Amino acid sequence: MSELRFTEDHEWLRTEADGTVTVGITAFAQNALGDVVFVHLPEPQSYDKGAEAATGESVKAASGVYMPLDGEGLEVNPALDSSPELVNEDPLGEGWFFRFQPTDASAVAKLLDQDAYDRLIKANAEA
């Protein structure tokens, strides 16, 4: 498994062996969202960085999952249709949302690494 990268919007990214990128929400995000009861997944199409690509709905609120980079949406996690609770149970694994092919694969490395993301979480907690 490759190193995870993170966004300031609390999405995680993992580059797969074939160059595609898997995206999900972090444990911090799923804790804030609460028990996920429904997930709206993206259609395979081109997305611009920052576009809302998916939505997670909980008993408390709905939250967007944003495209971390420009790219082509390829695949969604079909397990979330019948088991949205996977987002809570395994947010960094089986609870992934979608896969895409980034327009610029090198841009993934420019996102937050684990240390930078941990600092972001700490700063948010102190604010």
Answer yes or no: are the C-beta atoms of 1 and 46 closer than 8 Å. no
User: What is 5-121's CATH number, 1.10.150.530, 2.40.50.100, 3.40.190.10, 1.20.120.420?
Assistant: 2.40.50.100
56-70 pLDDT, tens digit each: 999 888 999 999 999
77-116 pLDDT, tens digit each: 999 999 999 999 999 999 999 999 999 999 999 999 999 9
Answer yes or no: are the C-beta atoms of 10 and 25 closer than 8 Å. yes
Q: What is the arithmetic mean of pLDDT over 34-42? A: 93
pTM above 0.85, yes or no: yes
Domain boundaries, the chain: 5-121
